[in-house]
Structure 1
């Protein structure tokens, strides 16, 4: 299959249980596009077909550049539907995390960026329900957005998204366990926009550490979590520069819905403030930067540093607080600092 409608297919971007996404080219508009096609083994299922089309309609209605936009819809000769979206070519957060955690200031800026995207979705009365690193695309920034850097987060894959009014009546647990709010895992329909707030907190934690705050393989793992537990502290990574970051993410990822941030944009405000603080502190420590060869313990062993090859943003690595450095020197040598 080389052509779909007027779109020339160039390469496969990804494939899931229900659909395949291709990178294509629109000769008429002279732009790259992404084309999502329903899998042939589901073509005869009217319920799956309708869900596929509902995703396209929902994405079309969201008037925000923080959400991938649909601009065409069609049908293949074999009857399978497809829809055409903007192509976002900066990769995914999942691809970024495959190479290790992001520097702390970048992680918080991206977490805030994600929270703003989720807030835009909520403003339209929609709950995403499946916010994971794999569903978060990176697009080039226009150079005029807050936080600097070269990329911004764009929400994709609204296949599980529902209007908030409908979400309260859902009785099936869906989503990715490690980023799923506990109330969503129960499948009793008792969740709202704060389930997405939980996922934003979990993704931000993963950006900082390379792993989700509560790694879960199954729904039972999600439900079996201690309701009073918090994500493992980030202090081994951020040291004295941690400030209130632990508290902010613990509240975002609280087991009980009522203990969580009520709004995604409130969480965004807090993450932006901390990202700015860390950036302001980093230059004071620049002369102490070196290379790291060890790993930090944050709940389980995580990578405390990542190679420069995966750096997609322009800010320097955050360094630990001076008192830690001086204490290390006094003890007999400099500790290696994350970069």
Structure 2
């Protein structure tokens, strides 16, 4: 068993190039926590260390149930760490393979977009929106986490350092061009596409395909599967547009449209059910159609 101060580290929940996140336990308050610890090999890099601590400060500043909250920060054996809420429902990445129903996928996608909008309202871009950075609470809320790549909107209008995950990264972000809220909207479109299909919208195994994507590029449509409304394909295509101006103007607008489509999909389903008729009624209708046709024919001959 490992321990940092009063925090017991029980199991690794996730890890990346710079840090490890543990599922832990606060032995004094007797409550589960998540503890993020900077990797030992980066502990003496001043720029990485500062970026790690900046993430903790950003998370601490936001008071919203859709963003993971930081409760404590410290250093253990010269490695900084910070302590966060433990979110027990896993991540959105756990829900993409195999994909769930269209209704569940849309509900989760709306939650993701609402969480990202909270960051934008606080004047921040996430710049690494992806399924593993979106946590699911027991009540179904999605919480945004991992602000290691976050940047203040006021600082994002110039040339930026490329950061993020290629499968979910907007083309302008990959090029180091100025970014904005619509860059995160692109990432939300990619997450939504994967929730619906079980795969990212584009193959980016060759980074050049992201850097040189044409303006008329569109992801493979999903409506042909019969489970996705056609207008949802239109929304996904616009959110994944190469040009930022062609995307929904905000994460909130993206969420609003998703909700409208989800409501419309339910209405269409109800209408299909209403069109079903009993065999007896079908025979009666057929007789009436035949009689009307015969009468029309007699009238024309006469």
**TM-score scaled by length of structure 1:** 0.77
**Partner SS state of residue 215, structure 1:** coil
- Measured in 1, the distance between the counterparts of 2:22 and 2:272 equals 45
- Measured in 1, the distance between the counterparts of 2:126 and 2:208 equals 21
**Partner SS state of residue 211, structure 1:** coil
CA contact (8 A) 1:67 1:154 kept: yes
- The 5 A counterparts of 1:189-338 are 190-238=178-226, 242-282=229-269
Unaligned regions of 5+ residues in structure 2, if any? 277-302
Q: What does residue 314 of structure 1 align with?
A: none
Deviation by residue 1:128-184 (Cα, 9 ceiling, x = unmatched): 00011111111111xxxxxxxxx2221111100010111223432111111110110
- Measured in 1, the distance between the counterparts of 2:132 and 2:67 equals 14
- Measured in 2, the distance between the counterparts of 1:93 and 1:218 equals 25
Deviation by residue 1:8-54 (Cα, 9 ceiling, x = unmatched): 11111111110111111113222110000000001111111000000
Stretches (4+) displaced over 3 A: 279-286
- Select between 219-228 and 61-70 the one with higher mean Cα deviation: 219-228
Whichever of the two has the greater Rg, that structure is 2
- Measured in 2, the distance between the counterparts of 1:108 and 1:155 equals 17
CA contact (8 A) 1:105 1:276 kept: no
Note closer, same or farther for the CA distance 1:284–1:218 as it changes in structure 2 (3 Å cut). Answer: same
Q: What does residue 26 of structure 1 align with?
A: 26
CA contact (8 A) 1:167 1:192 kept: yes
- Select between 105-114 and 230-239 the one with higher mean Cα deviation: 230-239
- The 5 A counterparts of 1:1-339 are 2-76=2-76, 78-97=77-96, 99-141=97-139, 151-188=140-177, 190-238=178-226, 242-282=229-269
**Partner SS state of residue 137, structure 2:** strand
Question: What do you get for the CA RMSD once the two structures are aligned?
Answer: 2.0
Deviation by residue 1:81-106 (Cα, 9 ceiling, x = unmatched): 00000001111121222x31121111
CA contact (8 A) 2:223 2:230 kept: no
Deviation by residue 1:254-311 (Cα, 9 ceiling, x = unmatched): 111111111110111010111223344446778xxxxxxxxxxxxxxxxxxxxxxxxx
Unaligned regions of 5+ residues in structure 1, if any? 142-150, 287-320, 323-339
